Amino acid sequence: MSDQTTYSIGCSRPVRNVASHLHLTTNTSKEIKAMSLKTAKCERTGHQVLLSDGFLVANATTGDWSFISLDAEEESYDYHIAIAEFIKSPEALVDWMAHLYEKAWFKPPKFFDFFERFRRENNLFGAL
């Protein structure tokens, strides 16, 4: 028996896995449980930290993004978002994204370039 169930976004009922539908998959496998233990390199200290303990930080003067740990030195132009707060719920993610879009310094291409680089540099593939 498979340990995967597919749900449509915003609905707790299982649906068929049809390629034209956007869906979320819950998975109780060891690989997904291990994702919560993933670490990434703090871009200021060089230390490995749990993703869930890290912060997304924007340079509010340039719009550049980085990942830092709690003990990283703070810069005067930093705009911090705790990863745990950013993704604590679907509503929080939507609210944060809309909030960022309202910032004059927010540059969506730089934001998504950061995530592409961050995923590659920290080997954070396989969660989808």
pLDDT tens digits, one per residue of 76-96: 999 999 999 999 999 999 999
Give φ, ψ of 79 to 5 degrees. Answer: -125, 110
**Beta-carbon contacts of residue 33 (< 8 Å; ≥ 6 apart):** none
**DSSP characters over 14-31:** B----TTS-EEEEE-SHH
Question: For residue 26, is pLDDT > 50?
Answer: no
Q: What's this model's pTM, rounded to 2 decimal places?
A: 0.70
Question: For residue 59, is pLDDT > 70?
Answer: yes
Task: Please tell me which residue, 35 or 61, carries the higher pLDDT value.
Answer: 61
Distance, C-alpha 53 to centroid of its chain? 12
